[in-house]
Amino acid sequence: MIKPLRMFRFAFPRIAAAFFLAGSFSACESDEGPLVKDPGTPADSISFANDIQPLFNAYCTPCHGAANQKLNLLPCCSYEQLLLTGFRAPYVLPSNPEGSLLYQYLNGNPIQMPPSGPIPPHDIESVLLWIRQGAKNN
Ligand code: HEC
């Protein structure tokens, strides 16, 4: 039988290290990484500014810039456009994350965005989690 103290000395540093790592990497959640996201735990909360806007900058703003008549995804405007002022706003529905237009277009429905092909699944998952967590301007 394993003595409780030995078990504590074994488990505690590992649990503490896991929390420490989760905290220090949370700013890089849009990168490929070992973190598995599970909605509901604070360590996994997605930030619009740190996790979502960088995806727009990388994949969307060449077309969805100031000149785009429907949806401007530049940092100045993206949040307001998605929630309120875009052509078919709201594009994100916390009450129906999978049905949100933003999520649907990322998955090729009715057309693929970006047109060149889907962004990495990990990034689409971040968008879905961000919507599930309330689509906050955080
Ligand atoms: C190569 C240019 C291009 C890129 C890159 C691009 N889009 Fe688009 N997007 C378009 C065009 C053009 C339309 C309008 C298509 C139409 O309505 O027929 C559109 C339409 C959309 C719409 C629907 C807008 C509406 O109200 O009808 C959404 C949502 C969207 N794009 C999201 C994105 C996202 C998110 C990205 C980045 C992950 C992205 N797009 C990247 C060109 C692009």
**101: domain range?**
41-138
Tell me whether residue 59 is in a domain. yes
b/e per residue 99-120 (b: at least 16 CB within 10 A)? ebbbbebbeeeeeebeeeeebe
Whole-prediction pTM? 0.77
Burial of 132 (0-12, 13-18, 19+ CB in 10 A): middle
User: Is residue 98 predicted with pLDDT exceeding 80?
Assistant: yes
Segment 28-57, tens digit of pLDDT:
444 554 555 554 444 489 999 999 999 999
Tell me whether residue 1 is in a domain. no
How many Cβ atoms from other residues are within 10 Å of residue 54's Cβ?
16
Pocket of ligand 1, beta carbon within 6 A: 59-60, 62-64, 70-71, 87-88, 91, 101-102, 105-106, 113-115, 119
Mutate to test the pocket of ligand 1, among 59, 61, 87, 105 (most ligand atoms within 8 A of CB): 105
Overall number of domains in the chain: 1
- Measured over the CA atoms of residue 48, residue 50, residue 52 and residue 57, the dihedral's sign is positive
Tell me whether residue 68 is in a domain. yes
Reading the block at residue 125, the tokens are 């998952």
Tell me whether residue 119 is in a domain. yes
Tell me whether residue 36 is in a domain. no
Tell me whether residue 69 is in a domain. yes
Contact (Cβ atoms closer than 8 angstroms) between residue 37 and residue 126: yes
Instruction: Give the residue whose CA is nearest to atom 2 of ligand 1.
Output: 63
pLDDT at 27: 47
Tell me whether residue 62 is in a domain. yes
CA of 86 to the centre of ligand 1 (A): 12
Among residues 88, 92, 54, 97, the alpha carbon closest in space to that of 68 is found at: 88
Average pLDDT, the chain: 83
Tell me whether residue 96 is in a domain. yes
